[in-house]
A = this chain, B = another copy of it.
Amino acid sequence: MSTAEETAGGEAQPWGEVTPDAARRLLLAAVEAFAERGYHATTTRDIAGRAGMSPAALYIHYKTKEELLHRISRIGHEKAVEILRTAARAEGSPTRRLAEAVSSFVRWHAGGRTTARVVQYELDSLGPEARAEIVGLRRQVDAEVRGIIEEGVRSGEFDVPDVPGTTLAVLSLCIDVARWFNVDGPRTPEEVGALYADLVLRMVGAARG
């Protein structure tokens, strides 16, 4: 691979796998537009315009507008699973791994807010087959977090009466960051990640710090 897939800041460039170059530019333009206005309010003319192309160019690389959303959604969810899987399978106590999972997941939602917004909130705009595929990836996301919490309960580090419910709440908290996070706001993604990791450790009754 000749181009770097990760920048120095740790922020992923997950679109490196998309070729050729024009297809990637269109995909990036679509992410921006979908995040700003939503899938249904975005026109193919707008996407093509942002990518510096004519409306027809879109259809050389993608069959439909929905295929664009599907591709974005799949790549984004794969990235989400990868982030959580890395944290879940790292070394260290469940407490440390849960904190790392939450803070890195939150950093991804805050830092790549445009992508995360599309990934998390435009699921219903997909057709049935595409949605079914993405729902499968979401189950993997849920399983990774639930796994860490279960381990912490077994080891006695956590005190969690309702593991599925708490898993849901933890993921919900992280995902909703994509809705409210503001790049020009007072908090950096790192700060929100640290705050949320602390709050989640409180939620599972873990000893902190």
Binding site for B on A (CB under 8 A): 37-38, 40-41, 121, 124-125, 161-162, 165-166, 168-169, 172-173, 175-177, 179-180, 187, 192, 195-196, 198-199, 202-203, 205
CA distance A175 to B173 in the complex (A): 10
26 interchain pairs, CB-CB under 8 A: A37-B124, A38-B38, A38-B40, A38-B124, A38-B125, A40-B41, A41-B125, A121-B179, A161-B198, A165-B187, A165-B192, A165-B195, A166-B199, A168-B180, A169-B173, A169-B195, A169-B196, A169-B199, A172-B173, A172-B176, A172-B177, A172-B179, A175-B176, A176-B179, A202-B203, A203-B203
The A interface is mostly helix, strand or loop, or mixed, namely helix
Inter-chain CA distance A192–B168, complex, in Å, is: 11
| Number of copies of this protein chain within its complex | 2
Question: Which residues does chain B contribute within 8 Å of A179, judged by CB atoms?
Answer: 121, 172, 175-176
Contacts of A41 in B (CB 8 A): 40, 125
* Distance (whole angstroms) from the CB of A168 to the closest CB of chain B: 7
The distance in angstroms between the C-alpha atoms of A187 and B165, with both chains bound, is: 9
Chain B residues whose CB sits within 8 angstroms of the CB of A187 once the complex forms:
165
Q: How far is the CA of A86 from the CA of B192 in the complex (A)?
A: 30
Q: Nearest residue in B to A168 (C-beta to C-beta)?
A: B180
| Across-interface contacts of A205 in B (CB, < 8 A) | 202
Q: Which residues of B contact A124 (CB under 8 A)?
A: 37-38
Interface centre among A40, A125, A161, A196 (most CB of B within 10 A): A40
Closest CB-CB distance, A76 to chain B, in whole Å? 16
| A200 closest partner in B (C-beta) | B203
Shortest beta-carbon distance from A185 to chain B in Å: 10
Q: Inside 8 A of A168's CB, which chain B residues have their CB?
A: 180
